[in-house]
């Protein structure tokens, strides 16, 4: 499956309900059994098949050092953050789902589904998501 931007995120963005500068943006890992529904999945509690395993805590990990920039050479707004690592973990994941974490699953809006293309596994080691050098979210 390809990457997905949830339609609810597009609406939330236009309504200023997702603030990348002040909100807690979190990455959760899901298995290949999760099928993102761009139209109906809107909040964290809509996501199924989150990974389990040593070194992984349900809900995922908050992204750190997030920045929002304006790129005039490419005419984009860009959100980027540090790569995220689950250390000393034993997990298998197919994708990451980004969401703004409010602390309540039914009010934590989804942002996007980032497909790893194949299952990625760590065995008592680091599981790292290395974001694109062009940023995590680009708006043209």
What confidence tier does 17 reach under pLDDT thresholds 50, 70, 90?
Answer: confident
Q: Could you give the percent of the chain with pLDDT greater than 70? A: 99
* pTM for the model: 0.95
The structural domains of the chain, with segments of one domain joined by +, span 4-64+87-128
Residues 31-89: pLDDT tens digits? 999 999 999 999 999 999 999 999 999 999 999 999 999 999 999 999 999 999 999 99
Write the secondary structure of the chain as one string of H (helix), E (strand) and C (coil). CCCEECHHHHHHHHCCCCCCCCCCEEEEEECCCCCCCCCCCCEHHHCCCECCCECCCCCCEECCCCEEEEECCCCEEEEECCCEEEEEEEEEEEEEEEEECCCCHHHCEEEEEEEEEEEEEEEEEEEEECCCCCCCEEEC
């Amino acid at each position: 499956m390809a990457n997905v931007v949830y339609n609810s995120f597009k609406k939330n963005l236009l309504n200023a309900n997702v603030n990348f500068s002040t909100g807690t943006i979190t990455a959760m890992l899901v298995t290949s059994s999760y099928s993102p529904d761009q139209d109906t999945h809107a909040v964290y509690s809509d996501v199924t098949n989150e990974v389990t395993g040593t070194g992984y805590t349900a809900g995922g990990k908050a992204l750190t050092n997030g920045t929002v920039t304006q790129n005039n050479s490419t005419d984009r707004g860009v959100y980027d953050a540090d790569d995220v690592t689950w250390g000393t973990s034993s997990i298998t994941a197919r994708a990451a789902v980004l969401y703004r974490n409010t602390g309540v699953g039914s009010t934590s809006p989804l942002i996007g589904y980032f497909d790893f293309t194949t299952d990625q596994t760590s065995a008592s080691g680091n599981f790292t998501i290395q974001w694109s050098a062009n940023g995590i979210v680009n708006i043209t």
